[in-house]
Amino acid sequence: MPEETQVLDTQEQPSLAPKRDFRQEVTNQIIEMLENGTAPWQKPWEAGALQLPFNPTTDRTYRGGNALHLMAVAARKGFDDPRWLTYRQAQENGWQVRKGEKGSQIEFWQFENAQRSTPTRDAADPEERDSARGNTGPIRRIYTVFNARQIDGIPEYAPRHRHEWEIAEAGESMLKNSGADIRHDQRDRAFYNRTADAVHLPPQAAFKSAPDYYGTALHELAHWTGHPSRLNRPTLNESYRFGDQNYAKEELRAELASVFLSAESGIPHNPEQHAAYVGSWIQALQKDKNEIFRAAKDAHKAADFIIGLDKSKGAEKAQAQLRTETSQHVADFERASSTVNIVEKETATEHREPVPVGAKRGPVDADQDAKIDEEKVLDGEVDGRKAPEDRDFERSLTEANRKAKELLGPKTTVYPADTASGKYRGELLGETDHHVLQKLSPRSVVAHPKQALLDAPAAGANVIISYSNNLAQVKPNQLREKAQALSR
């Protein structure tokens, strides 16, 4: 198993095992735990009992696949302390890893910037770095960390105790500040209806306790984050019915997001209603060793999105997040940390790049000249046409917003198309001088710039519009019988 690296001396070194496949080993471990019903998200967590693994020397949490892997190791070995750190970090603080203890491996990726000679650091393990001058590609590193229960001299961990009213307050705040359409119109079902872009729940009084209600509601809110107007998650938007593979993958992401949100808010996690997906999860992981890392990355992004909306006290602020995509990478500007989060799509590996002092920040519209350095990190420069910056284009976008509200109602929101790699399906509603309007849901519309469309169909056509390098391909949308909701 990947975590069994035994410390025999005091020299801290990266684990050099080129023939080992870390991701396959982690995947095999997760599959085994799923088969035995002991995976972290299969365990019912009591209110306030869960905290994500974090490094006590930096006070930063491990993320994505690393977080999930360390949680799995802790569950297997009975560690009830969420603190993990390297041998060297323990030594520097006067603590000692006990002789014979076996460490657990994590991975992180260094991305060399051509203008820089110093490699970047992993957020959870900042003192670990190697010189790799001259290499501008990503460098994968495997490091060994130890749980606080394996270390002598480290102070006792004092978990935060949350009262039930604090948990309920946190849950209510996240639901309210999300801006989601939440309807209490069910007797015993809870689900997210992507067609109506609405969360459906029983009345709060139907639940045994307030924490149970908020735990269920936030699971459905995790699905809600995947809507095309928000994170545009393929596992949500390309699933059609119960039983297809994307449907099960989306449930896995919602379950993991629930665990991450539980750790943040203290809200309990109840996995009982999702046992039906275990077989599909195992099948997906057996086919692709990267899937659990993709799922964890998507789940963390969903949890971050909900928490970001809550902390910003308004959906408009959080939804205006700067985002850039290429065929291989996605870059998101995270205001809270003033960093750009860069994710490689194929393997779901993450890297955070600090935003240089003086870089432009804040909401970015389709016509705003605000391209910060994350684009240079991805490609060196942005390779695409900017939207027109004249007043006619401004007026066209304003007219698009007015026309969409006139057709679909005053609560309709219009989003500019992601012309780097966006994909949209739905009925064309009409056009303005510089935009073509496409309906995504009853209350959301995407505005496509005409200069990207070589031959736009007439209003009423149901089409798929896919972008690559700021040019669009339009083809008929072959309507399929889609499930009306992701229901539990």
In this prediction the pTM is: 0.61
What is d(CA 238, CA 78) in angstroms, rounded to the nearest whole number?
Answer: 38
445 in Cβ contact with 415 (< 8 Å):
yes
What does the DSSP assignment read for 159-170?
Answer: PPP--HHHHHHH
* pLDDT band of 324, cuts 50, 70, 90: low
Choice among 247-251, 325-329, 457-461 with the minimum mean pLDDT: 325-329
What is d(CA 397, CA 415) in angstroms, rounded to the nearest whole number?
Answer: 10
Looking at every residue in the chain, the average pLDDT score rounds to 76
Of residues 486 and 331, the one with the higher pLDDT is 331
191 in Cβ contact with 254 (< 8 Å):
no
CA 364 remoteness from chain centre: 21
Check residue 89 and give its pLDDT: 94
Of residues 176 and 246, the one with the higher pLDDT is 176
**H or E segment to which residue 349 belongs:** strand 349-354
Of residues 274 and 129, the one with the higher pLDDT is 274
Neighbours of 442 (CB within 10 A): 14
C-alpha dihedral sign at 231, 203, 169, 262: negative
* pLDDT band of 295, cuts 50, 70, 90: very high
Residues, the chain: 488
Cross-strand partners of 474: 465
What is d(CA 397, CA 418) in angstroms, rounded to the nearest whole number?
Answer: 15
Of residues 313 and 317, the one with the higher pLDDT is 313
> Please, what's the b/e burial string for 87-97 (b: 16 or more CB within 10 A of its CB; e: otherwise)?
bbbbeeeebeb
Check residue 368 and give its pLDDT: 34
Nearest to 284 by CA among 241, 253, 259: 253
Can you tell me whether residue 425 is helix, strand or coil?
strand
Check residue 469 and give its pLDDT: 64
The residue whose two tokens read 């690296």 is 5
Both tokens of residue 419? 């012309």
The residue whose two tokens read 């900042």 is 126
**H or E segment to which residue 468 belongs:** strand 462-468
Check residue 200 and give its pLDDT: 96
